[in-house]
């Protein structure tokens, strides 16, 4: 999947709007999740801790009318796995690489596919209540990072 966010400023605007709970729900896409994660990891590291991310995403979901339940909204395992992928991408790219270029590479990689996690978790485990509430280790293959 190609990146649709063009430039560092677009990524920052998206991140700040999500944090402020003003990002329209329609713009909270797979790519937007990764753009936010990249921006947070680079600029607001304190918000990348699991509890901080949970609070941020849960608050955003509530503001946009998305229920945080056993079947909807915040998903802890997906969030933590995605952050591990983001950190790996940042480590490989280095501090001087632009978030725009990192996001483009990430979206062109297997992580750019919405179903990328199903290479590591079975559907039943990944979308079960336990994985939504807490970290659940992959049951098919270990994450590469």
- Give dist(CA 33, CA 14) in Å, integer: 10
Tens digit of each residue's pLDDT, the chain (145 residues): 666 788 999 999 999 999 999 999 999 999 999 999 999 999 999 999 999 999 999 999 999 999 999 999 999 999 999 999 999 999 999 989 999 999 999 999 999 999 999 999 999 999 999 999 999 999 999 999 8
Cβ-Cβ contacts under 8 Å for 138 (sequence gap 6 or more): 81, 120, 121
Which of 138, 143, 30, 134 lies closest to 75 in space, CA to CA? Answer: 134
pTM: 0.93
- Give dist(CA 85, CA 106) in Å, integer: 9
Which of 106, 74, 84 lies closest to 93 in space, CA to CA? Answer: 106
| Domain definitions of the chain by residue range | 8-133
């Amino acid at each position: 999947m190609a990146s649709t966010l063009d430039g560092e400023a677009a990524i920052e605007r998206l991140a700040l709007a999500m944090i402020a709970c003003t990002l329209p729900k329609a713009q909270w896409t797979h790519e937007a999740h990764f753009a936010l994660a990249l921006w947070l990891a680079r600029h607001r590291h304190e918000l990348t801790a699991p509890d901080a991310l949970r609070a941020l995403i849960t608050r955003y979901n509530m503001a946009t009318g998305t229920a945080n339940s056993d079947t909807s909204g915040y998903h802890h395992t997906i969030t933590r796995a995605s952050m591990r992928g983001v950190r790996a991408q940042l480590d490989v790219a280095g501090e001087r690489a632009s978030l725009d270029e990192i996001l483009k590479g990430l979206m062109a990689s297997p992580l750019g596919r919405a179903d990328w996690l199903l290479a590591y978790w079975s559907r039943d485990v990944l979308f079960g209540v336990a994985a939504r509430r807490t970290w659940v280790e992959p049951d098919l293959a270990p994450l590469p990072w």
